[in-house]
Amino acid sequence: MYKANDDRYENAVVRRAGNSGLQLPALSFGLWHSFGDDANYGDSEKVILKAFDLGIFSFDNAYNYGPSAGAAERMFGEVYRANLKPYRDELVITTKAGFN
């Protein structure tokens, strides 16, 4: 079972998002082409968890990230359910919507 580094936020650079009070890391992790159908789950899991262990708690996703459509969202969902669910209150997960 995954346990996040206790000191993951020790050196993290965090900024406030406007007047909302939302805190975001200076770096967000984008799951674009590297996390599609061709990606190895084990490798993707290691990269996502390492990012979290280093203080990155914002993960950017979209239905069109893949290939194929929805693949990166599914991959992140699997990693989340298996490892990050206990840390949900720390995560900022973004996605995009469009048409067509």
* Structure confidence by residue, pLDDT tens digits, 42-80: 999 999 999 999 999 999 999 888 889 889 999 999 999
Q: Quick count: other Cβ atoms within 10 Å of Cβ 81? A: 9
Three-state SS at 59 = strand
pLDDT tens across 1-46, in order? 999 999 999 999 999 999 999 999 999 999 988 888 889 999 999 9
Mean pLDDT of 75-100: 92
* pLDDT score of 99 more than 90: no
How many Cα neighbours within 13 Å face the side chain of 21? 0
Specify the pLDDT at position 67: 87
> CA–CA separation, 61 vs 72, rounded Å?
7
pLDDT over 80 at 98, yes or no? no
CA gap 14, 78 in Å, rounded? 26
Q: Give the CA distances from residue 22 to residues 40, 52, 72, 88, 91, in Å, rounded to whole numbers and listed in that order.
A: 33, 18, 25, 15, 11
pLDDT surpasses 90 at 100 = no
